[in-house]
């Protein structure tokens, strides 16, 4: 065998590590770049008036409160529909359903649902909720549309978290005289909860940032007031950003970046919460 | 007179993947004894244990034939209340699995599910079962600590105590000492000798030596068949079947 000097080995290894580190840093650069750029451009626009005021002068001045509140409403609305349904579906798939043609079909449907472009959801929502069910262009219709889009994310992450709970816990629980449901409620769900929450937040975060699904179903170009009921249309941050960036001539640039910054903080804030939940649960986990 | 607690008649079982696990088993288990089921891996011992508390319901079983009578009632009957049955037939598994909660909660889990809410009763059950499992002195001051913090041997005794807290009639143990050191093993075996005064114990031992040490009655299983069943002393000193003799003298297995 050819003799390799330790010196060479070390050199090769250091070169390899260096190369990998460089690649890792490269992947982070765009993200950091976007955040820093938006922060620098948008920060001057942030003021109390900007966050709590209504748009004025054809949205060229004033605040973005209706858009902030609207996005909050849409996120909550999406959670109300998608979380119970998604978690229930995940429990069914992971705990009750045996591998049959039906469950395979459900799984394929979920995977494909996740791959559908969001604008298609928008059109579907327009057809089903706005027109056929006559909810009109409303928070309700938009929330339902976003829910359908969010469901695959919630179902698959929740199912994964449920499956990660060791099978032995279930066997032991049942051998101690528990029913399946008692086992799920008292052990499996409890242990899977942090993972489920993380998935829920990541799904909702995506819903909060989407424009296309709400475009035809609930987003308003401009509203001089806050929505009163789920049947009202609403302004929303991502759509507002689209509007002021493309539809309004002579739009002050700092308001655009200020809006982008608020949306970014909203979404990254949710991300941060998910990360904290996950790491705290991991530290506490007893298996 | 020693009563027959469990009578197994013509029991056969086949898993869905085609493997036959038990073939026409006939045996009876006497109350207040330790009955040992031993033999090489894949012989059907664990499958038989899992039939006794209907834990096989969770696995893909194709056919079960024959019957198992517990105090004269067939527990393989589809109408059997499996929840109640599992409270009467406690099971300790090979790998100690403590539930992700405190020591105390591990012990009260089954009782609370059974509807027991009175704190005095629960506390009493915790102490009684820990004493029986020879664990009380080691954990009495830290009952609210997470159970996972215990050592492997302590965890296995906690699993035994968890079963005892339900005051079952029969205790099924599937290689309960396979992962334990000799000292912990000794403690578990000593606890079993104490337990048989009030319970019927069915044990799958993790070695022939353990089978010999603990058995009042012993059953030798080979590839799904019950080869020989007798009182422990006779079976280990004067086995009738050549295969039993070959196995206990170490010629195979």
Give residue-wise pLDDT tens across range A32-86: 999 999 999 998 888 888 888 888 887 788 888 899 999 999 999 999 999 999 9
Q: Are B64 and B76 in contact, with CB atoms under 8 Å apart?
A: yes
The distance of A276 to chain B (nearest Cα, Å) reads 21
Q: Do B113 and A187 touch (CB under 8 A)?
A: no
Instruction: Please give the torsion angle defined by the CA atoms of residues A229, A231, A232 and A233, in that order, rounded to the nearest 10 degrees.
Output: 140
Q: How many pairs of residues across A and B have Cβ atoms under 8 Å apart?
A: 62
Q: Do B148 and A166 touch (CB under 8 A)?
A: no
Query: Looking at the complex, does the CB of residue A23 fall below 8 Å from at least one CB of chain B?
Result: no
Is residue B2 very low, low, confident or very high in pLDDT (cuts 50, 70, 90)? Answer: low
pLDDT at B1 over 60: no
Q: Do A187 and B95 touch (CB under 8 A)?
A: no
Residue of B58, B101, B109 with shortest CB distance to A176: B109
Residue B253 lies in a domain: no
Note the pLDDT of residue B152.
87
Domain interval for residue B67:
4-248
Query: Looking at the complex, does the CB of residue A96 fall below 8 Å from at least one CB of chain B?
Result: no
| Nearest residue of A to residue B85, measured between CA atoms | A177
Q: What is the ipTM for the molecules in this complex?
A: 0.88
Note the pLDDT of residue B18.
72
Q: Do A177 and B55 touch (CB under 8 A)?
A: no
Q: Do B100 and A191 touch (CB under 8 A)?
A: yes
Note the pLDDT of residue A2.
56
**Residue among B103, B169, B91 at smallest CA distance from B136:** B103
Say if pTM beats, i.e. exceeds, 0.95. Answer: no
E strands along B106-239, which residues?
Answer: 170-174, 200-204, 217-222, 225-231
Note the pLDDT of residue A7.
65
| Nearest residue of A to residue B106, measured between CA atoms | A173
Positions in chain A whose pLDDT score sits under 70 = 1-7
* Angle between helices A237-246 and A65-91 in degrees, nearest 10: 130
**Residue among B80, B83, B84, B60 at smallest CA distance from B68:** B80
Q: Are A90 and A155 in contact, with CB atoms under 8 Å apart?
A: yes
Note the pLDDT of residue B228.
93
Q: In order of start, what are the domains of chain A with their CATH numbers?
A: 68-284 (1.10.3720.10)
Residue whose pair of structure tokens reads 């190369």 in the numeric block: A19
DSSP secondary structure letter of residue A82: H
Note the pLDDT of residue A225.
82
**Residue among A160, A37, A186, A178 at smallest CA distance from A94:** A160
Please write the tens of the pLDDT for every residue from B233-250: 999 999 999 999 999 888
Residue of A177, A190, A285 with shortest CB distance to B87: A177
Q: Quote the number of domains for chain B.
A: 1
Residues of chain B in Cβ contact (below 8 Å) with chain A: 53, 55, 58, 83-84, 86-87, 90-91, 93, 95, 97, 99-101, 109-110, 113-114, 146-148, 159, 162-163, 166
**Residue among B86, B67, B34, B18 at smallest CA distance from B216:** B34
Q: Radius of gyration of chain A from Cα atoms?
A: 24
From CA A178, how far away is CA A94, in angstroms rounded?
18
Residue B73 lies in a domain: yes
Judging contacts by C-beta atoms under 8 Å, the chain A residues touching residue B101 are 286
Judging contacts by C-beta atoms under 8 Å, the chain A residues touching residue B109 are 173, 176, 178, 186
Residue of A175, A178, A286 with shortest CB distance to B146: A286
Please write the tens of the pLDDT for every residue from B3-52: 789 999 999 998 888 777 899 999 999 999 999 999 988 888 989 999 99
pLDDT at B210 over 70: yes
Please write the tens of the pLDDT for every residue from B151-160: 888 999 999 9
Note the pLDDT of residue B164.
92
Q: What percent of chain B has pLDDT over 70?
A: 98
| Nearest residue of B to residue A166, measured between CA atoms | B97
Note the pLDDT of residue A6.
59
Residue B162 lies in a domain: yes
Q: Do B100 and A172 touch (CB under 8 A)?
A: no
Strands B20-30 and B73-74: unpaired
| Domain harbouring B207, CATH code | 3.40.50.300
What would the two tokens of residue A6 be? 């330790």
Residue of A174, A177, A285 with shortest CB distance to B114: A177
Residue B146 lies in a domain: yes
Q: Are B201 and B176 in contact, with CB atoms under 8 Å apart?
A: no
Q: Do A172 and B110 touch (CB under 8 A)?
A: no
Q: What percent of chain B has pLDDT over 90?
A: 63
């Amino acid at each position: 065998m050819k003799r390799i000097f330790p010196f060479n080995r070390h050199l090769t290894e250091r070169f390899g590590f260096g190369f990998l580190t460089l690649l890792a840093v490269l992947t982070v650069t765009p993200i950091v770049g976007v955040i820093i750029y938006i922060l620098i451009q948008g920060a001057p626009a942030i003021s109390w008036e900007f966050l709590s005021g209504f748009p004025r002068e054809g949205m060229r001045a004033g605040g973005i409160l209706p858009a902030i509140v609207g996005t909050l409403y849409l996120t909550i609305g999406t959670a109300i529909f998608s979380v119970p349904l998604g978690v229930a579906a995940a429990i069914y798939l992971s705990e009750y359903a045996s591998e049959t043609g039906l469950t395979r079909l459900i799984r394929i449907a979920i995977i494909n649902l996740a791959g559908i472009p969001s604008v298609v959801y928008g059109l579907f929502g327009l057809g089903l909720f706005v027109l056929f069910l006559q909810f009109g262009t409303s928070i309700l219709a938009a929330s339902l549309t976003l829910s359908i889009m969010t469901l695959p994310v919630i179902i698959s992450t929740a199912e994964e978290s449920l499956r990660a709970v060791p099978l032995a816990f279930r066997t032991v629980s049942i051998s101690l005289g528990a029913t399946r449901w008692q086992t799920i409620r008292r052990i499996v769900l409890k242990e899977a909860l942090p993972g489920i929450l993380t998935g829920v937040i990541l799904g909702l975060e995506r819903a909060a940032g989407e424009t296309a699904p709400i475009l035809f179903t609930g987003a308003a170009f401009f509203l001089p007031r806050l929505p009163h009921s789920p049947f009202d249309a609403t302004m929303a941050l991502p759509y507002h950003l689209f509007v002021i960036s493309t539809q309004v001539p002579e739009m002050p640039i700092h308001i655009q970046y200020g809006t982008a910054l608020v949306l970014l903080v909203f979404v990254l804030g949710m991300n941060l919460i998910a990360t904290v939940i996950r790491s705290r649960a991991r530290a506490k986990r007893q298996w | 007179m020693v009563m027959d607690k469990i009578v197994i008649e013509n029991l056969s079982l086949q898993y869905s993947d085609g493997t036959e696990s038990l073939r026409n088993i006939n045996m009876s288990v006497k109350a207040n004894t330790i009955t040992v089921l031993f033999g090489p891996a894949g012989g059907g011992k664990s499958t038989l244990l899992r039939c006794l508390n209907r834990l096989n319901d969770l696995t893909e079983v194709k056919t079960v034939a024959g019957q198992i009578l517990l105090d004269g009632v067939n527990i393989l009957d589809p109408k059997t209340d499996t929840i109640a049955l599992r409270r009467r037939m406690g099971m300790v598994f090979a790998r100690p699995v403590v539930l992700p909660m405190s020591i105390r909660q591990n012990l009260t889990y089954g009782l609370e599910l059974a509807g027991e809410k009175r704190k005095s009763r629960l506390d009493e059950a915790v102490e009684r079962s820990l004493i029986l499992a020879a664990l009380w002195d080691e954990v009495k001051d830290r009952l609210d600590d997470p159970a996972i913090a215990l050592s492997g041997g302590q965890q296995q005794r906690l699993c035994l105590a968890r079963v005892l807290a339900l005051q079952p009639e029969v205790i099924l143990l599937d290689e309960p000492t396979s992962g334990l050191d000799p000292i912990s093993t000794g403690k578990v075996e000593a606890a079993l000798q104490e337990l048989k005064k009030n319970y019927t114990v069915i044990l799958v031992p993790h070695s022939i030596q353990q089978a010999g040490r603990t058995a009042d009655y012993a059953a030798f299983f080979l590839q799904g068949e019950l080869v020989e069943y007798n009182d422990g002393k006779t079976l280990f000193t004067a086995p009738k079947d050549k295969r039993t003799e070959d196995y206990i003298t170490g010629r195979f297995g």
